[in-house]
C-alpha cells in the first residue's frame, strides 16, 4: 500500500507534526512492505501528478486541497484527513468561520480521518458522524533503557546533593490564535516556587521558536519567579535538555484548543530520561503514573529516592510506551484500519467545479485551479487583477451584470448563454477573453451587487449579499456546478449558497 500525505509546502517537512509523526512512521511502514510519501500540494499540477492508494491531507487549509480531494475521489482513490488541531468545533468563535467552511467543503470527499487523541476523535464524531477515524499516537524516537536508568539516578542524586533542580521547558512558544506555550509556562510558573520553599534552587532552561520572542513575551519572561536561560529550539538541543533535566515542566491550560493535543512532549520527556511535572489540564493522563501533578509530591519522592521514573519502574514505562508510543504498534493499527475501510462510495457524475474567491485571492491557489480541473471565479468582493475564468462586474442602474470570461469559463457556460458571449481582447494581459451581459431579472431577485467600498464596516456588511449574488450568477450560467468558496479571512458572518455534504445548503449562516 502506498500512502501519500499531502502537506501545504516543503518547509512544513520540518514542523513538529511532520517530523514526529510521519518521519517516524515512514521507515516502519517500509519495513513491512508499504510506503509513505510526503508531497507538497503545490506539486500537484494535475490530480494524476502522484500515484498512491491512499491520500491524506494534513494541515492544507486552502481550496486547492478541496478541489484536489474531489478530483481524487472521482478517480476512485481513498481520501482522508489528519486532524492535528481543532479549528472546526468552536462554532461561536468568529475567527474560524473560513476554516469551518473549509472543513465542511472537504468533508463530502473523505473516506476516513486520523487524529492523535481520543478527545479529538470524540469531537470529530460530532462534526462528522459516521466518518471512520483512527487514533494514531505520535511515536517516540529513541528509547535507551540503560541510559534512562543511569540519567534519572544521576540527576536525582545530584539534585539532592546540591539542593538544586534543573528544570526544562521546550516547545512552540506561541500560536497566532490561542494563548499557549510560553503563556502557559508563565501562568503556571508559581508551581516552581514550591521547590524553593522546600530549600531547592531552580535552574530553568527554555527552548522555543524565534517567532514567539515578541517584546510582550520577553517582558513576560522577565517576570518569571525563577531565573531562566533561553535558547532557540532544535531537535538536538531538545534531546540534550531532556537528558540533563531533573524534570521537565509541561503545564497545559484547559481551553478547547489545548485539551485535544497529542502526548508527544510527555512521551519525548519520559523516553529521553526525565521526570514530568504537568499542572493545569490533565493532558497526559494516559501516561499519568509517570506524571507529577504538583511540585510538593515530586520533592517528597526525590528526597525519599522513589521518583516515578527510575530503574525499577522502567519495565512499566516500556509497557506504556508499547501502547501509546510504539512505531510498530501505530503502523500495525493504521494499516489494519485502512484495510478494513469500506469501498469508496460512488461519486457524482462529472461536473463543473467553480472556486469563488473572497476578498483577497491567493495567487498560488488561482494558478493551480486550471490544472486541477476547476474554474477560478472572482466575486464582487474580490480585489486584484488576476486572469479569472469568470469575473462579474455590475453595470448601470438597471442591475445588469457583465461577465468577463476566459476560454475555459466560456466553455463551461450553458449552451444558450455561450452563443451570446462576445469575444474581446484583453490589452493588459494579451489573453483573449469574452464578455457576456446578463439582466439581473433573468436569474435573481437579490439586491444589486456593489464593489467593496473603502470603509471596512461597509465591506463586511455587504459581504454576504455580494457573495450570494456571485453564486446566484454561477447557478444561472453554469450547468451541474459544484461551487466552493475560497476565503482566508474572518470574521465574515454567514455565507452564500454552498454545497455541504453533497447537498445544497440554504442561505442561513454557515458559521
Distance CA 271, CA 221 (A): 28
State residue 491 phi and psi, 5-degree precision: -95, 130
Beta bridge partners of 243: none
pLDDT at 15: 81
Would you say the C-alpha torsion 298, 248, 264, 176 has a positive or negative sign?
Answer: positive
Q: What is the pLDDT along the chain (511 residues), one digit of tens a residue?
A: 999 999 999 988 888 788 889 989 999 999 988 999 999 999 999 999 999 999 999 999 999 999 999 999 999 999 999 998 899 998 888 888 889 999 999 999 999 999 999 999 999 999 999 999 999 999 998 889 999 999 999 999 999 999 999 999 999 999 888 899 999 999 999 999 999 999 999 999 999 999 999 999 999 999 999 999 999 999 999 999 999 999 999 999 998 889 999 999 999 999 999 999 999 999 999 999 999 999 999 999 999 999 999 999 999 999 999 999 899 999 999 999 999 998 777 676 668 999 999 888 999 999 999 999 999 999 988 887 899 999 998 775 566 889 999 999 999 999 999 999 999 865 445 567 999 998 766 555 444 555 555 676 777 777 888 888 899 899 999 988 999 999 887 755 544 554 433 333 332 322 2
pLDDT at 442: 54
State residue 488 phi and psi, 5-degree precision: -125, 15
CATH 3.40.50.2000 assigned to 145-314: yes
Distance CA 344, CA 109 (A): 10
pLDDT at 56: 97
What are the boundaries of each domain within the chain?
2-139+333-340, 145-314, 352-504
The C-alpha angle with vertex 493 and arms to 390 and 87, in degrees rounded to 5, equals: 95
Coil/strand/helix, residue 237: helix
Please state, as a whole number, how many other Cβ atoms lie within 10 Å of the Cβ of residue 437: 13
Q: Are the beta carbons of 46 and 161 closer than 8 angstroms?
A: no
Peptide bond just before 164 cis, omega within 30 deg: no
| DSSP letters spanning 358-382 | -SS--HHHHHHTTTTTEEEEE-TT-
C-alpha cell at 380: 464582487
| Model pTM above 0.85 | yes
Residues 6+ apart with CB under 8 A from 264: 16, 20, 116, 138
Among 93, 89, 68, 98, smallest CA distance to 467 is for 98
pLDDT at 142: 84
pLDDT at 397: 57
pLDDT at 454: 60
Parallel, antiparallel, or unpaired: how do β-strands 54-58 and 35-40 relate?
unpaired
User: Which listed CATH number (3.40.50.2300, 3.40.50.1370, 1.10.1040.10, 3.30.1490.20) goes with 2-139+333-340?
Assistant: 3.40.50.2300
pLDDT at 412: 95
State residue 223 phi and psi, 5-degree precision: -100, 10
Distance CA 154, CA 150 (A): 6
Please state, as a whole number, how many other Cβ atoms lie within 10 Å of the Cβ of residue 504: 12
C-alpha cell at 241: 535538555
What CA–CA distances, in Å, run from 501 to 63, 80, 106? 16, 15, 8
Q: Are the beta carbons of 495 and 485 closer than 8 angstroms?
A: yes
| DSSP letters spanning 260-289 | G--SHHHHHHHHHT-EEE--BS-TTGGGGG
pLDDT at 378: 94
What CA–CA distances, in Å, run from 376 to 367, 371, 405, 412, 483? 8, 11, 10, 12, 10
Task: Rounding to the nearest 10 degrees, give the CA dihedral for residues 122, 126, 132, 136.
Answer: -30
Q: Are the beta carbons of 326 and 139 closer than 8 angstroms?
A: yes
What CA–CA distances, in Å, run from 442 to 235, 255, 411, 438, 476? 62, 50, 21, 7, 9
Same fold, 2-139+333-340 and 145-314: yes
- For residue 345, the surrounding DSSP H or E stretch is none
Distance CA 17, CA 35 (A): 18
Amino acid at each position: 500500500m502506498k500512502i501519500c500525505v499531502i502537506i501545504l509546502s516543503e518547509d512544513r517537512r520540518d514542523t513538529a507534526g511532520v517530523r514526529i509523526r510521519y518521519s517516524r512512521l515512514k521507515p516502519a511502514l517500509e519495513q513491512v512492505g508499504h510506503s509513505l510519501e510526503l508531497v507538497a500540494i503545490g506539486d500537484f499540477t494535475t490530480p494524476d501528478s502522484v500515484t498512491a492508494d491512499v491520500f491524506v491531507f494534513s494541515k492544507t487549509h486552502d481550496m486547492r486541497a478541496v478541489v484536489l480531494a474531489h478530483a481524487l475521489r472521482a478517480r476512485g482513490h481513498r481520501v482522508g484527513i489528519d486532524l492535528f488541531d481543532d479549528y472546526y468545533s468552536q462554532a461561536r468563535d468568529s475567527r474560524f468561520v473560513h476554516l469551518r467552511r473549509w472543513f465542511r467543503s472537504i468533508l463530502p470527499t473523505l473516506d476516513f480521518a486520523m487524529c492523535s487523541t481520543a478527545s479529538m476523535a470524540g469531537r470529530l464524531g460530532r462534526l462528522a458522524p459516521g466518518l471512520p477515524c483512527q487514533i494514531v499516537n505520535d511515536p517516540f524516537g529513541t528509547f535507551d533503557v540503560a541510559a534512562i536508568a543511569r540519567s534519572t539516578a544521576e540527576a536525582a542524586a545530584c539534585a539532592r546533593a546540591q539542593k538544586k533542580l534543573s528544570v526544562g521547558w521546550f516547545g512552540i512558544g506561541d500560536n497566532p490564535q490561542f494563548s499557549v506555550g510560553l503563556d502557559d509556562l508563565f501562568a503556571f510558573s508559581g508551581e516552581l516556587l514550591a521547590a524553593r520553599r522546600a530549600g531547592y534552587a531552580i535552574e530553568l532552561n527554555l527552548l522555543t521558536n524565534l517567532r514567539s520572542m515578541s517584546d510582550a513575551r520577553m517582558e513576560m519572561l522577565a517576570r518569571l519567579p525563577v531565573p531562566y536561560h533561553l535558547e532557540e529550539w532544535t531537535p538536538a538541543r531538545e534531546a540534550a535538555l531532556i537528558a540533563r533535566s531533573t524534570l521537565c515542566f509541561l503545564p497545559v491550560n484547559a481551553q478547547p484548543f489545548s485539551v485535544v493535543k497529542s502526548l508527544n512532549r510527555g512521551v519525548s520527556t519520559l523516553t529521553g530520561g526525565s521526570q514530568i511535572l504537568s499542572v493545569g489540564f490533565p493532558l497526559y493522563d494516559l501516561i499519568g503514573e509517570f506524571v507529577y501533578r504538583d511540585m510538593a509530591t515530586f520533592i517528597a519522592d526525590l528526597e525519599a529516592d522513589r521518583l516515578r521514573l527510575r530503574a525499577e519502574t522502567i519495565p512499566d514505562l516500556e509497557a506504556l510506551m508499547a501502547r501509546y508510543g510504539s512505531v510498530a504498534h501505530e503502523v500495525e493499527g493504521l494499516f489494519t484500519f485502512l484495510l478494513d475501510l469500506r469501498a469508496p462510495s460512488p461519486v457524482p457524475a462529472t461536473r463543473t467545479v467553480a472556486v469563488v474567491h473572497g476578498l483577497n485571492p491567493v495567487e498560488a491557489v488561482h494558478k493551480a485551479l486550471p490544472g486541477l480541473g476547476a474554474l477560478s471565479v472572482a466575486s464582487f468582493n474580490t480585489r486584484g487583477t488576476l486572469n479569472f475564468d469568470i469575473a462579474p462586474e455590475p453595470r448601470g442602474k438597471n442591475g445588469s451584470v457583465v461577465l468577463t470570461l476566459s476560454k475555459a469559463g466560456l466553455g463551461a457556460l450553458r449552451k444558450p448563454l455561450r452563443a451570446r458571449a462576445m469575444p474581446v481582447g484583453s490589452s493588459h494581459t494579451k489573453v483573449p477573453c469574452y464578455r457576456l451581459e446578463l439582466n439581473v431579472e433573468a436569474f435573481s431577485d437579490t439586491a444589486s451587487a456593489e464593489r467593496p467600498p473603502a470603509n471596512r464596516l461597509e465591506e463586511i456588511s455587504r459581504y454576504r449579499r455580494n457573495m450570494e449574488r456571485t453564486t446566484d450568477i454561477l447557478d444561472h450560467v453554469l450547468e451541474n456546478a459544484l461551487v466552493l468558496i475560497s476565503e482566508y479571512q474572518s470574521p465574515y458572518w454567514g455565507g452564500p449558497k454552498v454545497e455541504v455534504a453533497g447537498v445544497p445548503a440554504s442561505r442561513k449562516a454557515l458559521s
